[in-house]
Structures are given as structure tokens and as C-alpha cells.
Amino acid sequence: MERNTSKALLLIPLALAFTSCSFAETRTAQDMAKECRVALDLFQGRVEKTLENTLFAGECIGYVQGALDVSLAMADNVKWLRVCVPDSVSTMTLIEKFIAFVDKNPKYTLASTAFQLMLGQEFPCKK
């Protein structure tokens, strides 16, 4: 009985991972750009350091860093996705470029699509 309980407990994180992965992304590029604008304003001292602004900044930075990490990992394994982001590029620079891309390209409505396309446009690998 104890052995079955241990197996069941081990499967819970796996089930949660698959459950969360099965939902479609609902984060729009416009929503993420809005949060990223708050992040830039917060770090440049143009808005008050409220809880809400800090949460928006954290959401933006976490999203940008996570999306970049996934992109770089995919670039190592997927031939059609080649981005070469120099280590010297800061998170703030990525945020600024993402906002500019979303502003110029409102037809890309998902944040993930907009971010990937921005990376491909701004940081293509040299052949």
C-alpha cells in the first residue's frame, strides 16, 4: 500500500505539468507590452514603486527572460529557429525591443509569437 502511495505522489507534479501545458496561451502581446512599459517606467523612476507596478515589472521580466531561455534552447535543436542574442544584451534592451515590435506589428496578437518574431528580426544569426 505504501509503495502505491509513493508512486501516486510522484505522478502529481507530472500531471500538473501536463495540465498546465494543455491550456492555450491567453497572454496578448498588447497586455505584455503594457506590463513591460510599467517595468521600464519603474526602473527609470517615472512611476511609483507600488505593489501593482512591481508585480507588472516582475511579470514582464520573468516572461522576457523565460521566453529568451526557451528561444535559445530551441535554437540549439530546431533548424528553422535561429536566433543569436549576444550575452551582452540586457533584459531592459529586450523589453524595449519587444515593446517597439508590438507597437509596429499589432497584427501579432500573442505575446509568444511577437517575442519570437522580434528576436528573429533583431538578432538573426549570421550565416
pLDDT computed for residue 60 by the predictor: 96
Query: Number of helices (H) and strands (E), helices first, in the chain?
Result: 5, 0
Q: What is the pTM of this model?
A: 0.76
* pLDDT tens-digit readout, 71-112: 888 877 877 778 889 999 999 999 999 999 999 999 999 999
Q: In whole angstroms, what is the distance from residue 31 CA to residue 54 CA? A: 16
Amino acid at 57: A
Q: In whole angstroms, what is the distance from residue 103 CA to residue 112 CA? A: 15
* pLDDT tens-digit readout, 33-63: 999 999 999 999 999 999 999 999 999 999 9
Q: In whole angstroms, what is the distance from residue 52 CA to residue 72 CA? A: 30
Helix (H) or strand (E) holding 104: helix 91-104
pLDDT band, residue 27 (cuts 50/70/90)? confident
